[in-house]
Structure 1
Amino acid sequence: MKAVIMAGGKGTRLRPLTCHLPKPMVPLAGRPCMEYIIELLEAHGIIDIAVTIQYLPDVIRDYFGDGSRHGVRLHYFEETVPLGTAGSVKNAAPFLDEPFVVISGDALTDFDLTQAIRFHQEKRSLATLVLTRARHPLEYGVVMTDNDGRIVRFLEKPSWSEVFSDTVNTGIYILEPEVLDRFEPDIAYDFSQQLFPGLLSEGKPLYGYIADGYWSDIGTLEQYRQTQFDMLDRKANVRIRGIELQPGIYVGENVTAAPDVKWIGPAFIGDGCRIGEGVEIGEYSIVGQGNVLSAGSVLGRTILWDHNHIAERNELLGSTLGSRIFCKESARFADGSVVGSHCVIGPKAVVEPHVKIWPKKQIRENTRLTSSFVWGEHLGRPLYSAYGVTGTPNLDLTPEFAARFATAYGSALAAGKRLTVSSAPHEFARLIKRTVAAGLQSVGVDVVDLGDVLPPVARFAVRELQSAGGIHVQLGADGRGCLECYDGQGLPIDKAAERKVENGFRQEDYGRAPAESPGSYRTEETMTSSYLGALLAFSMLEGEGALPLRAVVCTHPAVFALLRPLLDALGCEAVHLPAEAQRERLAEHV
């Protein structure tokens, strides 16, 4: 008897863990899932094995080689295009010159394959499906057999109304080689959707063997985690490497642990790990090889792959981390969070429940991550640039961002005080301004809305109205948006104030006002005229018989409308040119 291990899966539902790793290579208690399948086949005397590969094939080849290390002979068959389950096995047809077992490399099982093969031979079956009973059959193909084991009906992934049996298809098949003659090579063809229905409709000997034992498809993050918890509970009869230090606690070679480590378990600790003082290894902790767990860190229901550095006082509860991740001190990972390999997690960062971080990301200090991080390299970049808080409108600078920023700003610098808000004469800038005003009010800041003004007017208004500061929403000629933040003198806030706002923003530490008494809101739209009056008071031209001047202004019409009263008061003849026409027409007016 030969075997085919189907190992071409991408594992898209396991991302970000499988972004750079084929699904059969995802570790279970420190070893690739496919390694357990090879051990199962070898234990039942099946040592000639074909492996169908497609996604990142070299990762599988490099790890298993020719199979001699595991006592088997491996032969690889690579798909250049997806061919479906049956199509990929057809690729190995020249090798499959006798009855063979088909089994997935990305499921864990301890089924008695010898008994299943004997059933297949006794029934003289052309194809035998190995079945198992499932509490929740909706995710699998449901199969019904008669008293003799002959398949009479099956349905792929039914709804509850269509469920007619609790026996499901495990994706393990025992096949005669002639079944591969029923379709051509190099075409997409599927066992459960095409080959088996065809055999059933033709009345060919198609049987189902209901196996006893453990079987789990690790296709989802939840099932991937649960499978390893089941291993620690010994529900699956598979070999866990290491010695059993205490009941249910398995420890590999060359592990060093401080005397005061708190072992709760069940748990698995891989080879070469170093565990610092006061670390707590809570229930269902699964730690791969070469990990460093520094003093005061706490793990519970958490899975770590290989070569991670967990700094002091980390808290990992219900999380899953890939390999070569550096978690700096006092970071926290909540239930269901998943971190891809090669990430750096900054000090005091918080990864909220069910948040996923794709590989090779950097999370800055004090960041509270509330949604998944897929694109870009850095999260939690400094809020402030040289010109304020900048970003691309409706991409970086969104209403959601503006609301968070305003609540952090008001809570850190102006709770119970008065701030001005203002914007450039642009509809998106006005939208952000209104959002900022609402965020400030929510933390008890009294808001004075100046309307559409230029930045100098906004800075003037802060002093004129004796406010604690102000926020002005500006859109630049390059399309970038900016939140300019002023202190009580109308000057940019200092670095210390920026840090206070940024810390509040990262930690989402807001002191909300009571719902019955938010900050007040009023408008004040006379500041432009007040600013012009103050400016004229300093003008050397006021009251003097100055020569008439002509001012040619190349700008947006709304900006020109704000400048026109000042130019008129200065006795200037004002000429407006759209910005795009300045080079062509400026000479006509000089």
Structure 2
Amino acid sequence: MKGYGGFVKAVIASEVRNGFFNDDFFGTPKILLPLLGKPLLGYMTDMLSFYGMNEIVLLLDAQSEKVSEYLKNNPTCGAKVKPVIGKSINDALNSLFCSDEKEDDNVLLITDNVLFDFDLSEAEKYHRSMGADVTVIITHCDGVTGEKLVFTSPSGRITGFSGSVGRCGFLTDKADTGIYIISGKILKMLRDRTITAFSNEILPELLSQNKSLFAFRCAGYRRGINTVLSYLKCTRDMLDGKTVFPLSEICDGIYSNSELPCGKYNITPPVFIGENTEISDGADLGPYTVVGDGCFIGEKAFVRGSIMLNKSAALRGADISGAVMGVNSVAEENSKMSLGSVLCEKTTVGRNMAVGENVKVTPKPHGGISAPKSQPQAYYYGENITALGSRGTDSLFGDFDIGLFCKVGRALGSCEFGTRTGIGYDDSVSSAAAVKAVTAGLISSGSHVFDFGRCFLSEVAFFSSFCSLGCGIYIYSEKNGIHSAFYGNGGLPLSPDFEQELERRAENGEFRRCSAQNMRAVSDMSSMSSMYRRELLRQSGDMLSGISANVMSDNKDILLLMEDCLLSLGCGKGDDITFKITRGGTEVSAFCRECGWINMDKLLSLCCLYEFQCGHDVAVPYDAPAAINDMADGYEKRVLRYPVQAKTPVRDELKYLSSKQIFLRDGLFMAVKILGIMRETGYSFPKLLSQIPEFFVKHKTVSFSSVPEDICRAFPNDTVYPSYNGAVMYRSGGRVLLKPSENGKTIEIVTEALNYEVSCELCDDIENKLRDLGSVLN
């Protein structure tokens, strides 16, 4: 297998300081994190060298003496490893090529700190046989937060990507490993580009250009090491023999590169013990423990499922369970560290102190906090690093948990888009309390908070856009807990990559800390409701004399506001048309005697048709009817759908359009806009509806007895495309949307066709195929 074909060059794009692991954390760059006595970089270069790579470029975003020293003292057999300092992946790629480079040379690109043992020769054969421009090496999705999902056609050609594991994790089991085979012609095309994130920036662009992107599933082990838990899990897998990398075994389940230290201590395999360690009598090493070189374990200390990096020490009676101890860190007598907790480099936890689950202990105070003078050795700064997890940002907060609310605020305030955040809430006591906790977290991270006070959901979207905020949050209470809705720039939903960043920061404890003197006061924006009313009045374009309408809503604030506005516009009160607006104000339906009830899809299409007739493009949600695109084609206009990735070029245009077309996503604005269209055209409501093409949308929710996996396998003959938190299929009869719930127990089927019968047939066919999976409830 060695030296297969022309597959001889590779790039490892590793960030030394950005991200969760850095020199201040464990005392070593994350690319050099030890895995059972050997750095991650060593495993990666050994694997690449085995498959014939004779030239490897290691991209670093900062100079690292530790990396340089390692490469100098540990030459890779058969391969030359060249470190390159740069901010763009192209800095590494360009160092491999000269202007006369052969166009058919392929390069292997690794964009993550990943331990893998794939058969790269098989991937190379597949890449060449398919004539691919880029081959994405995929593996089975294991539901890890931050994994990117890949959707393919039956032929293996990539149809799209999902930003991270969430609801789409129930639709496909194909996960992007962060390893790519790139053809020479694509490399030349990208030569002058600045590439910071290949998967987020380049792959979607190449897909939109109809380049040949294929996915190849590799058998073997793979785990990205970007969090504490993934680091612990990786070492556990290696001790369980799930990788092909050989380990030096002294006896059953006990691994070491040297002789075991003398003493009367207990070991429960599997464990790894480094060189020059000292283990005192009575110490107990539990399963899945990794002890680095030069470590000390005191009498009656108990270490289990943990990683002790070089020269760390657990003194007498210390209890280290599922934790990571950085280089030169110390757990003093009778101290305790819990699952997921971390001691950073040169950090001490004092005697009799306990570090809770998922807490990071930093070596020095932050934000004006000082250690007690009476106990200088007992000082630690605890930073909780538990996660929002897979619930996502548009999710249920759950039971009333002040700690969770504050954590979300800290994570959001640490994001660049969260530095100016607006927040509103409903009239419940629990929501008001939750807002204070979220606000405290935001302020502690240096964010400037705009308090909109008590309002309804659609107002927060408007306020966020009007004030040009990076993020807006609405918190509301229902019977099953506290809920939240997040809006991004322009009042649009948060982009998938922003959602992913927020979840990552919450999970990994990547919180920015602001000193007390630099914290900003909350801005009172409760008077913004008057601006919402003013813009609502403008939607009609003029007075509505001669038109009558009625409004229904469960939200008395919405009802009073609409009645006041219609009265101010001279609209009579009658039953020519009745609007029913949801409690949050984001959706509306309409009723008239001639047409019956008309849903939001038809009303949205009506407003879009009017915009096309006025010569405008439109910005609509991703699940808006496909019929809108058909209407746009007739007027040579465009339909932009959101949300999209933040760095997508169309994002700015979406932001502009959405700020001008609030009525396309706000139920109150849409109702007044329709009345304005009736006034402008002189048409009755039934006459307006007759202008939009016939289409019917059917919704059906299917329940599963157990959480399904890879739902797309139920449709082997269909090409499935990813959409926001779901997937879409196109058939000759119409369009199908699949929208899984957050827990995966249900999936909503949305079928759209030219008539009711075809829409129902499509829905029934999809449901029957889902039943073939075997876990659908009747």
Fold in common (TM above 0.5) = yes
Q: How far does the alpha carbon of each residue in 1:417-458 deviate from its partner, in whole angstroms, 9 at most, with x for none?
A: xxxxxxxxxxxxxxxxxxxxxxxxxxxxxxxxxxxxxxxxxx
- Could you tell me how far apart the structure 1 residues matched to 2:277 and 2:294 are? 5
Q: 1:204 to 1:334 in 2, by over 3 A?
A: closer
- Which residue pairs with 1:310 in the alignment? 314
What pairs with 1:82-481 in structure 2 (closer than 5 Å)? Answer: 82-83=87-88, 85=89, 88-90=92-94, 92-94=96-98, 98-104=105-111, 106-136=113-143, 139-157=146-164, 159-160=166-167, 164-185=171-192, 187-240=194-247, 242=248, 244-258=249-263, 260-359=264-363, 361=364, 374=366, 379-382=371-374
- Which residue pairs with 1:500 in the alignment? none
Question: 1:224: Cα distance to partner?
Answer: 1.3
Instruction: Name the stretch that deviates more: 270-279 or 63-72.
Output: 63-72
- Which residue pairs with 1:74 in the alignment? 81
Q: Are 2:33 and 1:29 equivalent residues in the alignment?
A: no
Q: Are 2:3 and 1:3 equivalent residues in the alignment?
A: no
User: Retained in 2: the 8 A contact 1:17–1:339?
Assistant: no
Question: 1:254: Cα distance to partner?
Answer: 4.2
User: SS of the counterpart of 2:118?
Assistant: coil
Q: 1:381 to 1:66 in 2, by over 3 A?
A: closer
What pairs with 1:527-542 in structure 2 (closer than 5 Å)? Answer: none
Question: 1:120: Cα distance to partner?
Answer: 1.1
- Could you tell me how far apart the structure 1 residues matched to 2:296 and 2:275 are? 11
- Could you tell me how far apart the structure 2 residues matched to 1:25 and 1:311 are? 26
- Could you tell me how far apart the structure 1 residues matched to 2:201 and 2:345 are? 38
Q: Choose 1 or 2 for highest CA Rg.
A: 1
Question: 1:73: Cα distance to partner?
Answer: 0.8
What pairs with 1:537-556 in structure 2 (closer than 5 Å)? Answer: none
Give the partner amino acid of 1:382: S
- Could you tell me how far apart the structure 2 residues matched to 1:30 and 1:170 are? 24
User: SS of the counterpart of 1:174?
Assistant: strand
Question: 1:11: Cα distance to partner?
Answer: 5.1
User: Retained in 2: the 8 A contact 1:103–1:173?
Assistant: yes
Unaligned 5+ runs, structure 1: 362-372, 385-590
Question: 1:32: Cα distance to partner?
Answer: 1.6
Question: 1:298: Cα distance to partner?
Answer: 0.9
Question: 1:69: Cα distance to partner?
Answer: 4.7
- Could you tell me how far apart the structure 1 residues matched to 2:375 and 2:299 are? 32
Q: Among the aligned pairs, what percent are the same residue?
A: 23
Q: Normalising by structure 2, report the TM-score.
A: 0.44
Q: 1:161 to 1:78 in 2, by over 3 A?
A: closer
What pairs with 1:549-568 in structure 2 (closer than 5 Å)? Answer: none
User: SS of the counterpart of 1:139?
Assistant: coil
- Could you tell me how far apart the structure 2 residues matched to 1:329 and 1:177 are? 59
- Which residue pairs with 1:49 in the alignment? 56
Give the partner amino acid of 2:310: D
- Could you tell me how far apart the structure 2 residues matched to 1:78 and 1:205 are? 31
User: Retained in 1: the 8 A contact 2:326–2:344?
Assistant: yes
Give the partner amino acid of 1:343: T
Question: 1:376: Cα distance to partner?
Answer: 7.5
Question: 1:198: Cα distance to partner?
Answer: 2.9
User: SS of the counterpart of 1:65?
Assistant: helix
User: SS of the counterpart of 2:126?
Assistant: helix
Q: Are 2:56 and 1:64 equivalent residues in the alignment?
A: no
Question: 1:129: Cα distance to partner?
Answer: 0.8
User: Retained in 1: the 8 A contact 2:17–2:23?
Assistant: no
Give the partner amino acid of 1:65: K
Question: 1:65: Cα distance to partner?
Answer: 2.4
User: SS of the counterpart of 2:20?
Assistant: helix
Q: 1:56 to 1:78 in 2, by over 3 A?
A: closer
- Could you tell me how far apart the structure 2 residues matched to 1:23 and 1:383 are? 32
Q: Normalising by structure 1, report the TM-score.
A: 0.57
Question: 1:184: Cα distance to partner?
Answer: 4.8
User: SS of the counterpart of 1:223?
Assistant: helix
Q: 1:111 to 1:222 in 2, by over 3 A?
A: same
Question: 1:196: Cα distance to partner?
Answer: 2.1
User: Retained in 1: the 8 A contact 2:135–2:216?
Assistant: yes
User: Retained in 2: the 8 A contact 1:308–1:325?
Assistant: yes
- Could you tell me how far apart the structure 2 residues matched to 1:375 and 1:307 are? 29
